[in-house]
Structure 1
Amino acid sequence: MIRRLKYHEIDFVKYSQCLEKSEQRKYSATKDFLDTTAPKQWEILVYNDYEAVMPIPFVRKYGVKIVHNPKLCQQLGVFSDKDDVNLNEQFLDYLENHYLIRAYPFNDSNELRTKFRIKKNFLIYPDTYEKVYARFSPKRKRKLRLDEDVLDHSEVKTVSYDEVESFIESNIIGLSKDSDLSGFMKIYETFYQLKYLTFLAFYYQKKIINVIATYSDCNMVALLGTFSDKEYVKLSGASVLIDQMLKETIDTHIFDFEGGDIPNIEEFFRGFRPELKPYGIIERSKKDLFKKLGSLILKGRIF
């Protein structure tokens, strides 16, 4: 039996235990991650006594609850001991029939009969760094061989949020509107304070020219941000930083590139020879939402 629990009704001990033992385990479904990206604006669907769970983040528009994926959260979906297509479809059916959905992603381990748009993501699984490096493309290996002059005037350092805040604000790209910036920065700051987020910076001539932000939890290291000074793009600082993080973590952690749908970004990621791990996502237009709203009101299923 699937039931819906509001935030204050969730048994977070049982919820966390379900995630920990799940085949689909993802850091983005944890309480700390969702509490930061969707503060108390998420609830769950639960099967029996937490045998399977499905976190549901939402926003409110004009008093109406709309399911929407929060910033920096790539994958959610169903989490269970063993992935089960029939159970996944039951969760999907409940979701579709009780909520207005703007955007909701499943995870790369969720098998579904229902077809949605597929998005790309790339992972490198734990191995010795030497074997991982050996698989890099010839082009990526060339990019990592810095000129002697660059080597003499550069260094890679782990830095604090305060040290990179202004650099990120000046070099973040892809925001749909200026007001999104403060939201992203608040999330980065909170994750850093909670000790999930690490900032690695590439300095050239004592100036930061590249930064990556990586989130570590659930035996994964996820690339939550890559920021570059466009004037120094030819120095390949971003490649050096990702390579450094792989050196430090890949023997024990999965490295999650967190994306790959944009052609030039996909090309960049593929140079590290990761595995493609696609996932499905429900996406609905505003027009579709208005149609669905009327249907759910008539059925008395709007929460």
Structure 2
Amino acid sequence: MIRRLKYHEIDFEKYSHCLENSAQRKYSATKQFLDLTSDKKWELLVYKDYEAVMPVPYVFKSGIKIVHNPMLCQQLGIFSREDNIEINEAFLSFLQNKYLIRVYAFNEFNKFKTSLKPKKNFLILPENYETVYSKYSPKRKRKLRLDEDVLKTSEIKEISFDQAESFIRDNFLGADKEEDIELFILIFKNMFEADCLSFSAFYLNKRIINIIVTYFDDFTVALLGTFNDKESVKISGASVLINNCIKENIHSKIFDFEGSELPNVEEFFRGFRPELRPYHIIDYSKKEIIKKLLSLKIIFNQ
């Protein structure tokens, strides 16, 4: 029995208990992360008495509710004490029959009978740092050996949102529209104020040339953004920042690279020798959404 609950109907204590004790636990499904990335525009599918749960974020387009993973939220899906294919299929069927869907991403642990589109993600699991470093590619190790003159004139600092904002704006790549950049910036600001986001900067000659943005909780550090001065790419400041973050956290936390479908970014991540952890998504084009809306005449409770 799967029920659909609006945000105000969710028992967040039961939801959190299910998530934290699940076989699929993901930081991106926590109430805090979803609230910050979706502006509390999410609801919940529940199996029995919170034995399994599935958060469903949405946006409104022309007054129509459409399922869409929020910016910076890579994986959601079904969470339960044991991953169960039959229950997962029931959730998938409910989602597809009751919602209009643009993009929804399941987590790496969810298994299905239905064939779904795979995407890539990369993780380094908790381990002794020396062991993790020993697995880096020879090229990555070379990149981390900075020249003597760079060592003398560089430093790593944790900085505030206000200190990071202008550099991020000036070096933002990958956003299609200006409003997308503004939304990214707003989410970064809100996360920083919620004390779950950090900005680590690589300074050369007292000037920032790289920033990495990481989200953190008790179990995971997730790389949400890497921003680089185009004129200083050869310095490898981003590699140094990521390695430093791994060194400080990998003894007790997962380091999540958040994947990439861009070949050059994937190659960069693979230099740290992470584990490939594919996950699956369902997505529909705008034409497919309109066709389904017209044919099924779905009425949404808004």
TM-score range, shorter chain: over 0.9
Aligned-partner Cα distance in 1 for 2:85–2:189: 38
Q: Secondary structure at the match of 1:179?
A: helix
The Cα of 1:12 is off from its aligned counterpart by: 0.7
- What is aligned with 2:44? 44
1:39-71 Cα offsets, whole Å, 9 max, x none, are 121100000111110000001112211001111
Whether 1:253 aligns to 2:253 is yes
Which residue identity lines up with residue 292 of structure 2 in the other structure?
Answer: K
Superposition pairs for residues 100-119 of structure 1, below 5 Å?
100-119=100-119
Aligned-partner Cα distance in 1 for 2:175–2:28: 20
The Cα of 1:296 is off from its aligned counterpart by: 3.1
Moved over 3 A (4+): 300-303
Number of residue pairs the alignment of both structures matches: 301
Aligned-partner Cα distance in 2 for 1:36–1:103: 19
Aligned 8 A contact 1:196 1:216 in 2: yes
- What is aligned with 2:76? 76
Whether 1:91 aligns to 2:94 is no
Q: 1:47 to 1:120 in 2, by over 3 A?
A: same
Aligned-partner Cα distance in 2 for 1:40–1:149: 48
- What is aligned with 2:268? 268
Aligned-partner Cα distance in 1 for 2:109–2:61: 31
Runs of at least 5 residues in structure 2 that lack an aligned partner in the other structure? none
Which residue identity lines up with residue 53 of structure 1 in the other structure?
Answer: V
Aligned-partner Cα distance in 1 for 2:190–2:226: 18
Give the structure-2-normalised TM-score.
Answer: 0.98
- What is aligned with 1:153? 153
Aligned-partner Cα distance in 2 for 1:150–1:117: 44
- What is aligned with 2:2? 2
- What is aligned with 1:169? 169
Which residue identity lines up with residue 177 of structure 1 in the other structure?
Answer: K
Whether 1:55 aligns to 2:55 is yes
1:253-283 Cα offsets, whole Å, 9 max, x none, are 0000001211000000000000000010111
Superposition pairs for residues 110-149 of structure 1, below 5 Å?
110-149=110-149
The Cα of 1:113 is off from its aligned counterpart by: 1.3
Aligned-partner Cα distance in 1 for 2:68–2:238: 30
Aligned-partner Cα distance in 2 for 1:178–1:198: 23
- What is aligned with 2:202? 202
Aligned-partner Cα distance in 2 for 1:104–1:78: 11
Aligned-partner Cα distance in 1 for 2:101–2:279: 17
Q: Secondary structure at the match of 2:288?
A: helix
Superposition pairs for residues 174-253 of structure 1, below 5 Å?
174-253=174-253
Which residue identity lines up with residue 215 of structure 1 in the other structure?
Answer: Y
1:213-240 Cα offsets, whole Å, 9 max, x none, are 1101250100000000010000000000
Aligned-partner Cα distance in 2 for 1:16–1:31: 8
Percent identity over paired residues: 61
- What is aligned with 2:295? 295
The Cα of 1:204 is off from its aligned counterpart by: 0.2
Give the structure-1-normalised TM-score.
Answer: 0.98
Computed over aligned residues only, the root mean square deviation of the Cα atoms, in angstroms, reads: 0.9
Aligned-partner Cα distance in 2 for 1:189–1:138: 36
Aligned-partner Cα distance in 2 for 1:79–1:56: 12
Q: Secondary structure at the match of 2:178?
A: coil
Aligned-partner Cα distance in 2 for 1:23–1:192: 29
1:165-219 Cα offsets, whole Å, 9 max, x none, are 1001111110011111111111001111111101110000000000001101250
